[in-house]
Each structure stands twice: as C-alpha cells, then as structure tokens.
Amino acid sequence: MSRTLMLSVIRGMALRGLAVAAAIAALCLAAPVVFAAEKFGAPKVTESAAPVGAGGLTQVTLSLLLVLAAVFAAAWVVRRLRGFGKFGNDALKVVTEIAVGTKERVVLVQVGSQQLLLGVAPGRVSTLHVLAEPVISQPSASTPTEGATPGTPDFKAILKRSLGL
C-alpha cells in the first residue's frame, strides 16, 4: 500500500472525527435555545404517568446487553492486539511469548546477540534459561515489518487485510 493512500485514509478518518465533534458541539450549543421554550416544573395533578409495559423493559434490557457486549468485545480486541504498536530500541526485543496460565507467561527475550528464557508472573520475573545459541534467528533486513515483533501483525498487514487488498 502506498504511503499516499495510507495518508488519505488517515486524513479521511480525521475529517470524519472532526465533523462528528462539530455536530456534537452544535447540538450542545443549540440545546439551551431549543429547551428554553419549555416550562420546567412539577406535572399537573390531572396528568398521570404512563404505565411502563413489557416493551419498555425489553428495550432497556436489550440496550444493556448491547453495551455489555461492546465492552467485552473491546476488551477482547485489546487483549488480542496486546503487542501491536510497540516501539522501542533494538537492544532489547521480545522474540516470542506464550501463556502457561491465566497470569503466567514464558517469554523469549533477545538482548544483543543472546537470548533469555524468562518466566513472568504477577510481581515476579525469573530467568528460566540462558540460551547458548539463538533458538529463533534475527529477522533479516529484507523483512517488510521493521518495527514489529515476530508473531504479531504489523499495522501495514492489518490495514491491508481490513481494506481487502
């Protein structure tokens, strides 16, 4: 994907966000004018509250379930893209990692030309093994993903997949 295409996609998303923000700001500024004509106060005695039926309860329940599903979906996406977008120097790299429990991980770290196998748990990191020779070699210079760690997709690959290219 060319750089100009990516920039135009990002620019388009930024313009849409700006348009949405402008619309929200306009609605917030127009609200006092619109609601100024209405009188606020206690309802008249002759008026009675409309009974809440099963339709209203169903709508509230479905709305709540939709919000909960959106929260869980966002949490799942964040967990899946955990390593996405990490930037740093090339002196220390996480080559690969694997979960061995709910909170425990085994991580293969590259420090210079040496690789360390680390056990990571809440509040504790311990060296399991120092490898004499690298298990997984360094990615070559011809690899298109310069900043991504192996095993995690980079931005370019995700964007191509989402655009169907």
Most confident of 73-82, 85-94, 135-144: 73-82
Identify the residue with better confidence: 152 or 18.
18
Q: Are 84 and 152 in contact (CB under 8 A)?
A: yes
| 113 closest CA partner among 143, 138, 94 | 138
Domain ranges of the chain: 92-154
**pLDDT value, residue 161:** 78
Q: What is the mean pLDDT of residues 90-97?
A: 82
CB 150 within 8 A of CB 139: yes
Of 55-59, 74-78, 133-137, least confident by mean pLDDT is 133-137
Which pLDDT tens digit goes with each residue over 8-29? 667 777 778 778 888 888 877 7
In whole angstroms, what is the distance from residue 103 CA to residue 107 CA?
A: 13
User: Of 99, 93, 141, whose CA–CA distance to 115 is shortest?
Assistant: 93
